[in-house]
Amino acid sequence: MTLPHDYLERVYAGVLGKLIGVYLGRPFEGWTYERIMAELGEVWYYVHERLGLPLIVTDDDISGTFTFLRAMPDFGNTRSLTAEQIGQTWLNYLIENRTVLWWGGLGNSTEHTAYLRLKSGIPAPASGSIAVNGKVVAEQIGAQIFIDGWAMIAPGDPALAADLARRAASVSHDGEAVYGAQVLAAMEAQAFVEHDLHVLLETALSFIPRESVIYRLASDLREWREKFPDWREARRLIVEHYGYDKYAGNCHMVPNHALILLGLLYGEDDFQKTLMITNTAGWDTDCNSGNVGCLMGIKNGLAGIEAGPDWRGPLADRLYLPTADGGSCITDAARVTYQVANIGRALAGLPPLHPKSHARFHFELPGALQGFRPEPLVDGRSPMRLENVSGHSKHGRHSLALHYAHTALGQPARAATPTFLPPDALKMQGYSLFACPTLYPGQTVTAEVMADAGNQRPAICRMYLRRYGPGDALVRIYGPETALLSGETHVFSWRVPEMGGWPIAEIGVEINSPQGVPGTVYLDYLTWKGAPDAVFSRPEDAGLAWQTAWVNAADYFQSWVESFRVIQNHGTGMLIHGAADWEDYRVEADVTPHMAVAAGLAARVQGLKRYYALLLAPEGRLKLVKVRYQVTSVLAEADLPWEFGQTYLLGLEVKGRRLAASVGGEVLLSAVDEEDPYLNGAVALVCEEGRTATQAVTVRPA
């Protein structure tokens, strides 16, 4: 597989197209064509504000697409990745009844049904098969909505994309649902190297049976396109021949696949018009629109997205990926693009790309804002305008221009990017939103800024963050400051102070112009690294934000007398905190097992099925274990006659491949993990069938 010269940018356009399509169609998901026309008219642009809804939301189309793709790096970025391994990825990242999926029940929600099959020990592809779940359940839409990532890692190789789509789709689906997924994946993969839509469709159809409904449907749509110039007539024929009344279940693949082809065939190769048709036609609008947006983004690139209205401005690259890996929830389209593209590069035998020495915010993709937005003043306006520009970077090709203007009463201009859930997302309706902060006390933030050579006056520039406080109000905390003369460059270095247990919501840059003269400062990059140095416990007057910052993968997480009360009825429950970029550190916690089969703490947590744990285990044993999907390996163990109701100070240090476990400050167990070790990840409190309590969790660099 040879990568196209513009592979990275086209992946970015595909990711953006997916997001735009989902956010466009989500507010009226499930509406009929008649209702859409009566209440909204033709949908040419975002309508969330008209319906009083937020633009950036959690959605299974986005979360599933980029979460299930993590099977590739987790299993070594191999072309031989199996459906069974993708199914194991489901169990690792999904929190039952909470994240990613519509948890509608056995036999009602296709994905929930497949999850329960996987959980019960039925591996993929049997977990999604018609033989196990029946034809109706197996042929719903989910196989299609999660498929775009598999195409983006196989640019110009539709056969590989269709095969990967088959394996991924078969975890939860079968029959026509898999065929529809294969068609879309093959079209998207070929769109990296082929512009003609009809060639894309013909290529994709070669991978599915000619006798399938999806094949017949595509043939009918192409015939109707030749006969009827008005897309509305073709939509009427879809309803007549392939409508919801013809296919049982809540949201069948066939009718919605038809609307995807409708938009593509009648959209005249225009991003906006194609999305308009697909969305105005109704049914599962966010799913259909997301697939169409991704395909059109890949095919026509960023120029195709930017040819119409400003789709990207309100988006600012923002998205949420809520999974058991809570530190990866708050992310952006540029960051996801590099993750996807680096899988494609690995499959092509190429090294990964990490712009500006692994900088978190690097702005290297054209137009990328990476979540940065100006902070408005009281009247809703802002004295700052943001723009991704070429140049003004010592370390790459792009930078973020912070254009600041005169403000009344000397108010500063500010721009920030989220590091945790913003206040309006704490009570988001719909799909659950779980997230850990990405920035923590003890980590060192570095950022490089440059004043424009044409600035007429110095710019007083300083770092700041906002954390949550009592009543979930945001509290501003300032970092270092500098006065930038025209053309001058400065590198900030700021060790984040202790936050008293409160999560950090955002980080940004503030600019003051004492004489009120406008100017521009360029942000080359902003990043941080290192393990935290912090104590996590319940703050005084704690609100919703503090508790939300811990990913609850247990039956119950309560904060009563103790900060953390974890209760698990069956199996193993976890309360997770931290991020995947934590590497060498020591975690320590007081653990009081009130009644439990086992209790303890975990380090380098990479989901629910990938972590190290120190456990007060059955029969008076202390165990240091490694969990890898279905296998739990004991790395070291010793006698420790622990008792219910007694408190034990447990510590686990991870440094490279070495692990050391302590009780009461005394090291009792140690091990070296030589076989595929976990080298990074979050921390967690662990409870197996019972109740355990903890007052504080401490994490320090090792």
The whole-number average pLDDT for the span 8-33 is 98
Tell me the two tokens of residue 183.
């068609």
CB-CB contact of 513 with 519 (8 Å) = yes
User: For position 382, what pLDDT does the model report?
Assistant: 84
Residue 203's Cα: distance from chain center in Å? 31
State the angle between helix axes of 176-190 and 253-266 in degrees (0 to 180), rounded to the nearest 10. 30
Looking at 2.60.40.10, 1.10.486.10, 1.10.10.10, 2.60.120.260, the CATH number of the domain 358-534 comes to 2.60.120.260
Tell me the pLDDT of the chain averaged across its residues.
96
Just give the CATH number of 550-701: 2.60.120.560
Note if the bond before 125 is cis, omega within 30 degrees: yes
**Interval 469-515: pLDDT, tens:** 999 999 999 999 999 999 999 999 999 999 999 999 999 999 998 77
Tell me 1's DSSP state.
-
| DSSP conformational letter for 127 | G
Order of strands, sheet of 384-390, starting from the edge strand that comes earlier in the sequence: 384-390, 398-404, 519-529, 444-451, 489-495
pLDDT at position 220, please?
98
Q: Provide the residue ranges of all domains of the chain, joining segments of one domain with +.
A: 7-320, 358-534, 550-701
Lowest pLDDT segment from 238-252, 421-435, 577-591, 667-681 = 421-435
| Mean pLDDT of the 667-672 span | 98
Is the pLDDT confidence value at 114 over 70? yes
The whole-angstrom separation of Cα 316 and Cα 386 is: 10
Helices within 134-175 (DSSP H only): 135-138, 142-145, 148-152, 158-169
Task: Please tell me the pTM assigned to this model.
Answer: 0.97
Any bridge partners for residue 475, and if so which?
A: 467
Lowest mean pLDDT among 221-225, 409-413, 625-629: 409-413
Class of domain 7-320: mainly alpha
**Averaged pLDDT for residues 454-463:** 94
* 560 token code pair: 């009563």
| Measured distance CA(19)–CA(312) in Å, rounded | 10
| Segment 360-373 mean pLDDT | 98
Q: Could you count the other beta carbons within 10 Å of the beta carbon of residue 33?
A: 17
* 516 vs 451: which has the higher pLDDT: 451
The percent of residues above 90 in pLDDT, for the chain, comes to 94
Question: Residue 74 pLDDT > 70, yes or no?
Answer: yes
CB atoms within 10 A of CB 122: 17
Model pLDDT for residues 123-177, shown as the tens digit of each residue:
999 999 999 999 999 999 999 999 999 999 999 999 999 999 999 999 999 999 9
With beta carbons less than 8 A apart as the criterion, state whether 356 and 526 touch: no
pLDDT of residue 543: 86
Tell me if 7-320 shares its fold with 550-701: no
Secondary structure of 232-288 in HEC code, one letter for each residue: HHHHHHHHHHHCHHHCCCCCEHHHHHHHHHHHHHHCCCCHHHHHHHHHHCCCCHHHH
pLDDT in tens, 23-54: 999 999 999 999 999 999 999 999 999 999 99
Q: Which two tokens stand for residue 306?
A: 């930017």
Cβ–Cβ under 8 Å, residues 93 and 53: no
Residue at token pair 């998207």? 188
Between CA 503 and CA 465 the distance in angstroms is 11
pLDDT per residue as tens digits for the range 407-440: 555 678 999 999 999 998 987 877 878 899 999 9
pLDDT number for residue 635 = 98
Q: Residue for token digits 């979460």?
A: 67
Q: What is the per-residue pLDDT for 514?
A: 77
Q: What is the pLDDT of residue 645?
A: 96
pLDDT of residue 406: 66
Spatial separation of the C-alpha atoms in residues 257 and 253, rounded to whole Å: 6
User: What are the tens digits of pLDDT across the range 181-207?
Assistant: 999 999 999 999 999 999 999 999 999
Query: What number is the average pLDDT over the span 641-663?
Result: 98
